[in-house]
Amino acid sequence: MVKFDPPNMSENVEGWGPALDIPPEKFRDMPYAPFSKSDRLGRAADWTNQGRHGRMDEGEFMDDDNAGFQVVDYRQPARQFNFGYRPRDRDMGQRNRQWNDRDNYRKDFRRDGRRYGGRYDDRRNQIREASVEVGDDWVLLEEIPFSTLAKCRMDNVPEGETVRECGSLEYYDKGSERISCKMEKPLKRFEHRAFHYVTTIEDPVIEELASESTGTVYATSTILALLMASTRTAYPWDIVVQRANDMLFLGKRDGSQIDLQTVNETAQDQPKEEKNASPEEKINTVRHLAIEATQINQNFSQAMLIEGDRYKFPNANPFITEGQEEASVAYRYRKWKLDNEVSLVARCEIDGAIKASGNDEEPQFLVIKALNEVMDPNARQITDWRGKLDTHRGAILATEVKNNGAKVAR
């Protein structure tokens, strides 16, 4: 067994620290700085002073061959005076903000750990459910990120040709342009007029055009606009792609919400989902606001027209049934030949017409859309349209384009 010899421990009776006979012979009689237990010990090396302001506070080293002193200027710098508006003390303002943040943080949480209110409710980071539940047995064939779609462009788009026109249109009322905040006009409801949102595969006109091999890809203008503006969308959506022989049909599912007019989809303060809202807030959730905006657009597109006289196309509305009052809407089926193999046929909607000056001239066609004001009490910035719409139309329009970038792009 190995023997353990304990080391010799020396005790310094005369002072603190090792005894004089402890250091090796080569370290004896070397000068050193004596200290006591009450002396303050410094750092052997300070690495914390190399941060943001460390180098700014460091002074320059003095040369050894110069005198061991440094000239210090004790004169006070000249005081600068600011005339005119002077902001409050920033230190006091910062201190008040710190106390307010601390108080708000305490108020925002209960003792049981649950939250009060919505001060820390960052709506832009809320997780939204997918429009389609992906099954475990699905196989991922390809994934296309938005960054790739944003780079997809087609230059020199060929001129489209109209292959079929259906429906009838009322004429635009130019007197509606005189409406202002001081000369208001209530929005009339057109409850008895029928508005149809038929998917591609159920359109009888597209079915007839497909049987004649008019094109290879068939879609509606709503679906095409959604795909073209998909990089700006924030809400989940999906489309249905069906293949029949060498033809593709881009459609939608039953109950799909892609035909609804979204509200504040790209805003800083997005509407809440219905599951995250209280009973009092459900009226301002995503779906309820979209339904309201869609109904406003439906009624607005009819209110801007003169009831009665209509411009009729050669074919009747393919979706109207007996007993329904036909809304002022027409469908133009147009074809674009993208290349030698792909021909796109799309159903496009128009809402009204402007009478031509001559009797033999064809009228101009209109698409009528509306942006509606949404009063969100929790929004960071609230703009009163009634007080500023007549004088600041450009500012309000710019704000709406920012808050509804996806809808405006479509």
Position 85 in a domain:
no
Give the pLDDT of the chain (410 residues) as one tens digit per residue. Answer: 667 777 777 777 777 776 767 767 777 677 666 666 666 767 766 666 555 444 444 444 444 445 444 554 444 554 443 434 344 444 445 555 554 555 554 444 444 444 444 444 444 556 777 888 888 899 999 988 888 888 888 888 888 999 999 999 999 999 998 898 888 899 999 999 999 999 999 999 999 999 999 999 999 999 999 999 999 999 999 999 999 989 999 999 988 889 999 999 998 888 888 888 888 888 888 999 999 999 999 999 999 999 989 999 999 999 998 888 999 999 999 999 998 899 999 999 999 999 887 776 789 999 999 999 887 766 666 677 887 888 888 888 998 999 999 999 99
Q: In this predicted model, what pLDDT tens digit does every residue of 97-128 receive, in sequence order?
A: 554 555 554 444 444 444 444 444 444 556 77
Position 318 in a domain:
yes
Position 278 in a domain:
yes
| Strand pairing category for 161-172 and 329-337 | antiparallel
> What domain range is 222 assigned to?
146-174+184-409
Return the structure tokens found at 247. Answer: 């033809």
Position 93 in a domain:
no
The tally of domains found in the chain comes to 1
Position 399 in a domain:
yes
Position 200 in a domain:
yes
Long-range contacts at 309-314 (CB < 8 A, ≥ 24 apart): 309/170, 309/171, 310/168, 310/169, 310/170, 310/171, 311/168, 311/169, 311/170, 311/171, 311/353, 311/363, 312/168, 313/165, 313/166, 313/167, 313/168, 314/165
Q: In this predicted model, what pLDDT tens digit does every residue of 128-179 receive, in sequence order?
A: 778 888 888 999 999 888 888 888 888 888 889 999 999 999 999 999 988 9
- Measured CA to CA, the distance from residue 384 to residue 399 in angstroms comes to 12
Return the structure tokens found at 343. Answer: 């021909």
Position 136 in a domain:
no
Position 372 in a domain:
yes
User: b vs e for 73-100, b when ≥16 Cβ sit within 10 Å of the residue's Cβ?
Assistant: eeeeeeeeeeeeeeeeeeeeeeeeeeee
